[in-house]
Amino acid sequence: MAQIIVVTSGKGGVGKTTSSAAIGTGLALRGHKTVIVDFDVGLRNLDLIMGCERRVVYDFINVIHNEATLSQALIKDKRLDNLYVLAASQTRDKEALNKEGVARVIEELKKDFEYIICDSPAGIETGAHLAMYFADIAIVVTNPEVSSVRDSDRILGLLASKSQRAEKGEEPIKEHLLLTRYNPERVARGEMLSVDDVEEILSIGLLGVIPESQAVLKASNQGVPVILDDQSDAGQAYSDAVDRLLGKEVKHRFLEVQKKGLLQRLFGGRE
């Protein structure tokens, strides 16, 4: 049975697209046929981060409006042959999305894919609503700051009340917290909320903590999902998160301030 995963946040710029690309790629790497769908109509970004922007001919909106078939619009990843992208349109606006159209495309994708990742736009308007509406699983991307946590809370409320599962009275959407751009130094200085603070406020399970990392910018400039940079802290943290999503128990890493001194390097850390 295909699983529909929405990557959502409420607040903009917290790392939804970065996470959609990384998690989608991670699932494909582990042998699951996966498609990542960009719901951010008008601001397409996913194709850039996935490095397929030069191969977009038809997009999600074309399929919704029967201007192209799904197979014409699906872009195959150049690195993994069980990974696909459905790009958003840059020329249309959010009104081009409608529930019936999205439902039809999702139904069709479910026949062919194990995982359908929906990269939500920011906000709580049409695009964000439709991205979450059909979800089985939600990954709520949150930065360790008060405004982002508030918006995530709001989104969790909508997941619990405005999704198809909620409206039909089915089992609720499975909710996961993904804390991104985590900077242990700034947490230690009290400039950011800690993992514990955020977990306590949102009271949902922690899927992963992705450190603030240069590797993310480098990866997105190169059009390579950061999870493929397995030497980087962010890449490893996303890998762990994907393993947890698939049910593995993996210890959380990158939560503490890096120990850089010579003595610490000689004698190792605490782990």
Ligand X SMILES: Nc1ncnc2c1ncn2[C@@H]1O[C@H](COP(=O)(O)OP(=O)(O)OP(=O)(O)O)[C@@H](O)[C@H]1O
E strands present in 174-226:
174-182, 205-211
CA distance 223 to 192: 29
Q: Residues near 221 by Cβ (< 8 Å), separated by ≥ 6?
A: none
CB of 242 to Mg ion, least distance (A): 19
| Interaction partner, residue 199 (Mg ion, ligand X, other proteins, none; CB < 5-8 Å by kind) | none
- Under the binding rule (CB under 5 A), the answer on residue 181 touching Mg ion is no
Q: Which of 48, 160, 195, 206 binds other proteins (CB under 8 A)?
A: 160
How far apart, in whole angstroms, are the C-alpha atoms of residue 91 and residue 186? Answer: 40
- Enumerate residues 7-26 that contact ligand X by CB under 6 A: 9, 12-18
Q: Name the burial class of residue 190, with classes exposed (0-12), middle (13-18) and buried (19+) by CB atoms within 10 angstroms of its CB.
A: exposed
Give whichever of 136 and 233 is closer to ligand X, judged by the CB atom. 233
Q: Which stretch binds other proteins (CB under 8 A): 43-51, 76-84, 146-154, 261-269?
A: 146-154
Among 150, 174, 186, 252, binds other proteins (CB under 8 A): 150
Coil, strand or helix at 9: coil
String of contacts with other proteins for each residue 186-215, x by CB under 8 A: --------------xx-x------------
Left if phi > 0, otherwise alpha if psi is -120 to 50, otherwise beta: which for 51? left
Q: Is 168 annotated to bind ligand?
A: no
Query: Pick from 146, 217, 246, 257: which binds ligand X (CB under 6 A)?
Result: 217
**One-letter amino acid identity for 121?**
P
Q: Which residues bind Mg ion (CB under 5 A)?
A: 16-17, 45
